[in-house]
Amino acid sequence: MSARRLALACVATLALLVAGARHAPAFERKPVAIAAFFRPPEVQQVRVSADGAFLTAIVRLGAKREIRVYRRSSMEVDVALKVPSSVDLDVEWVARDRFVIESWRRRGTKWAYEVVVVGGDEGRVIQSRHALAVAGTIVAPLPGSDGHVLFQRARDVYRIDLREIADEKAVAKWIADDRRVTRLPEGASTAVVDRDGDVRAALVLEDDDGEVARRRIVHRARGARAFREVLAWDADEPFFVAPLGFTADGERLLVASNRDRDRFALVELDPATGAEGRVIFEHETAEIVDLAWSYDRASLAGVVYLDNGEPRMHYLDGAYAAERERIAALAPGHTVRVLSTSADLGVVAYAAYSDTDSGGFSLFDAKDGSAREIGRVSTLLDAIDFAPRRRFTVRAAEGPEIEAIFTEPVEPPAPIRAWDEPAAPRTPPLVVLPHGGPLGVRDDLGFDPVAQLLAYYGYAVLQVNYRGSGGRGKAFEAAGFGEVGRGIEDDIDAAYDYVVAQRWVDPDRVAAVGGSYGGYASLMGAIRHPDRYRCVVSFAGVTDLPVLFDEWPARRSERVRNHLVDLVGDPDRDLEDMVQRSPVYRASEISTPVFLVHGSKDVNVDVDHAYRMRLALERAGVPVRFRVLAGLDHSFGSPATADDILEDVLRFLDEHMKPRAARGGAGDADRAGRGEGSAR
């Protein structure tokens, strides 16, 4: 239940206790539906036309969606194009007066492109949609062409004039030989284009029985027909080099590379030798996550990186920086992300969000410096006054410094006892929420729907970026190898000890909730600390480390098996140790109620992990709640399914996390290991 919900429940409970009643009130849902935390955005993909006269946005109305075309001068909807909810969409303006809708089904490989033309004296749509069922991707609009695009289909790249697309018979024109501008090497992924619109580089993925075995970067000089190899490396090698674009003179490649360094840096690559040259940007502690380009992609404007979990921009263009700072000033306390601009940068669509705000979309007018809101991610969540999240660092014994995020409940908790003074110190119950992975995944300070849902129902939430988490370089990620059930859990314990020592939470009311690896970590936490947790929830959690090697991914792929050996151990050599780190074999050491949830179609972690864990818990006499969700994979699925699952989880927490009316003493707060820690 939420801190607010818990507050109300506690007040009612304590009144009943004073009156001699023995039972607390039943769980009640709060006004904002659980599903609201997991619904797709109400507005998304706001895009501005090249001349700034129009903009488009995908708008969700209940279960339905439409692409709206707005006339910017009035912000009236000129037309609303109905689109099915069963497909994924991408909308891109490719000329002054037309945009393309790219759609593909989530299951299967059916693709379609629809060209929509806007304009005319009334500024309205003057040509209907034309669906073109052809698989491929638009690489880029051609500079200065106002309607020509590069379209990649497998290894072939074509120059397409969208003005010729007038009916469905035009499909053949998209892939006609006389329109092909280049043929990439076999296995090429997205082409890399220079400022003149020439395809001059690509990342090539070489396949071995359905898996990427080797990667190559290929390049060709201006005017050349053939591509030559610049760099090649095996997929098992501990680095990656991604071609992103070209320098302004077109002579060198711009790549994101962590070759011979711990973190990704933006560097120049000499296509003649494959050697890295000038380092354009490299951060001491953070990874690069994105780039910002000029409108025509002729020059690089900035580099986006994560600073303590928050996106930051390193500017490479002074004018660009000044304009972005003007926009950021309109949304203080928020992270601002530019989504689309007009060609002259006079009109900018941007998103703004924070740890307490799921976000909204606005339009910036550079002429007068004004901003107009277009829509919100969730008007339902806007009704909740979310509490802030804070970051702190801590270090387990003999471990690296790790960061953790603490989310306060939406409302402060009520008195534990009815006779407490209103001003008496009160601390909320805590949910420890370890993330999945465990490698390469991280929790950030942005808006987190699961953490904020728990906060809405009265719980403080602790998320830990333990060793092995992403975003801090190769060495930190590699520190997670061999630490499953050991050092990773030590990191979670250190963060827990810190929040208890700070007296931020009630150490007598603690639960562990997690999915995938987080489910495993939650179960192991209950084994390692039998008296710490009131209850445990594991969604799709691993329970048997040795059996991972008998499942399809490891049996099919030697690379997957080798990765598992590095991560959890070798069953031929380390079986006894792996058994000791597997919850299913230590179920008798769990002394707290457990809720197991698993999808029947989970291909990441087989549902057998849950069945066997339930059996082991039942044999040990441990109270266990169990749900297998028919047809569900390794995720919540739809918002309705999330609503169903998480209501059950909240009821389970509510049942087991109620306060003890007469509890005395500081408990774990006085016993917690202090460790090294600092809140930031």
In a domain, 141, yes or no: yes
Task: Please report the pLDDT score of residue 162 as a whole number.
Answer: 75
* DSSP line for 82-123: EE-TTEEEEEEEEETTEEEEEEEESSS--EEEEEEEEETTTT
**Weakest-pLDDT range from 12-26, 81-95, 244-258, 297-311:** 12-26
Same domain, 17 and 148: no
Task: Please report the pLDDT score of residue 142 as a whole number.
Answer: 79
For residue range 298-346, list pLDDT tens digits in order.
Answer: 778 899 888 776 788 899 888 888 888 899 999 999 989 889 999 888 9
What value does the mean pLDDT take over residues 575-586?
A: 96
Among 202, 264, 262, which residue's Cα sits nearest to residue 232?
A: 202
What value does the mean pLDDT take over residues 44-50?
A: 92
Q: Per-residue pLDDT for 416 more than 60? A: no
Same domain, 15 and 156: no
Among 584, 488, 490, which residue's Cα sits nearest to residue 538?
A: 584
**Weakest-pLDDT range from 92-101, 478-487, 572-581, 625-634:** 92-101
For residue 529, give Cα distances in angstroms to 484, 573, 591: 16, 28, 9
Under the banding of pLDDT at 50, 70 and 90, the label for residue 15 is very low
Task: Please report the pLDDT score of residue 161 as a whole number.
Answer: 79
Structure-token pair, residue 353: 């969000």
In a domain, 589, yes or no: yes
Same domain, 530 and 618: yes
Q: Which residue has the higher pLDDT, 148 or 11?
A: 148
Same domain, 30 and 54: no
Structure-token pair, residue 112: 């379609």
Last residue of a domain, one of 165, 183, 201: 183
In a domain, 207, yes or no: no
In a domain, 426, yes or no: yes
In a domain, 654, yes or no: yes
For residue 88, give Cα distances in angstroms to 38, 45, 131, 226: 17, 12, 15, 35
Last residue of a domain, one of 183, 211, 239: 183
Sign of the CA dihedral with 232 first, then 237, 239, and 244 last:
positive
In angstroms, the CA 391 to CA 121 distance is: 54
Under the banding of pLDDT at 50, 70 and 90, the label for residue 19 is very low
For residue range 237-250, list pLDDT tens digits in order.
Answer: 999 999 999 998 89
What value does the mean pLDDT take over residues 572-593?
A: 96
Q: Per-residue pLDDT for 54 more than 80? A: yes
In a domain, 196, yes or no: no
In a domain, 511, yes or no: yes
Task: Please report the pLDDT score of residue 176 as a whole number.
Answer: 66
What value does the mean pLDDT take over residues 197-217?
A: 88
What value does the mean pLDDT take over residues 402-409?
A: 96
Same domain, 80 and 18: no
In a domain, 248, yes or no: no
Task: Please report the pLDDT score of residue 343 as a whole number.
Answer: 86
Percent of the chain whose pLDDT exceeds 70: 85
Same domain, 16 and 101: no
Same domain, 7 and 110: no
Same domain, 540 and 622: yes
Domain of 142 in residue numbering reads as 44-183
User: For the chain, what is the domain count?
Assistant: 2
In angstroms, the CA 649 to CA 632 distance is: 17
Q: Per-residue pLDDT for 128 more than 60? A: no
Under the banding of pLDDT at 50, 70 and 90, the label for residue 13 is very low
Last residue of a domain, one of 157, 183, 209: 183
The DSSP bridge partners found for residue 539 are: 515, 597
Same domain, 30 and 142: no
- Name the pairing type of β-strands 510-515 and 460-465: unpaired
Sign of the CA dihedral with 251 first, then 255, 259, and 263 last:
positive
Per DSSP, 34 falls in state G
Q: Which residue has the higher pLDDT, 423 or 296?
A: 296
For residue range 660-673, list pLDDT tens digits in order.
Answer: 753 344 444 443 44
Q: Per-residue pLDDT for 606 more than 70? A: yes
Q: Which residue has the higher pLDDT, 259 or 209?
A: 259
Task: Please report the pLDDT score of residue 604 as a whole number.
Answer: 87
In angstroms, the CA 275 to CA 344 distance is: 36
Backbone angles phi, psi at 247, to 5 degrees: -65, 165
Q: Per-residue pLDDT for 260 more than 90? A: yes
Determine contact, residues 494/396, Cβ cutoff 8 Å: yes
Q: Per-residue pLDDT for 449 more than 90? A: yes
Task: Please report the pLDDT score of residue 77 as a whole number.
Answer: 85
In angstroms, the CA 572 to CA 567 distance is: 14
Task: Please report the pLDDT score of residue 487 as a whole number.
Answer: 96
Task: Please report the pLDDT score of residue 127 as a whole number.
Answer: 54
Q: What is the pTM of this model?
A: 0.86
Q: Per-residue pLDDT for 108 more than 60? A: no
Task: Please report the pLDDT score of residue 63 as a whole number.
Answer: 80
Same domain, 25 and 77: no
What CATH number is given to the structural domain containing 18? 3.40.50.1820
Determine contact, residues 571/578, Cβ cutoff 8 Å: yes
Task: Please report the pLDDT score of residue 321 as a whole number.
Answer: 87
Same domain, 146 and 25: no
In angstroms, the CA 643 to CA 33 distance is: 8
Same domain, 594 and 655: yes
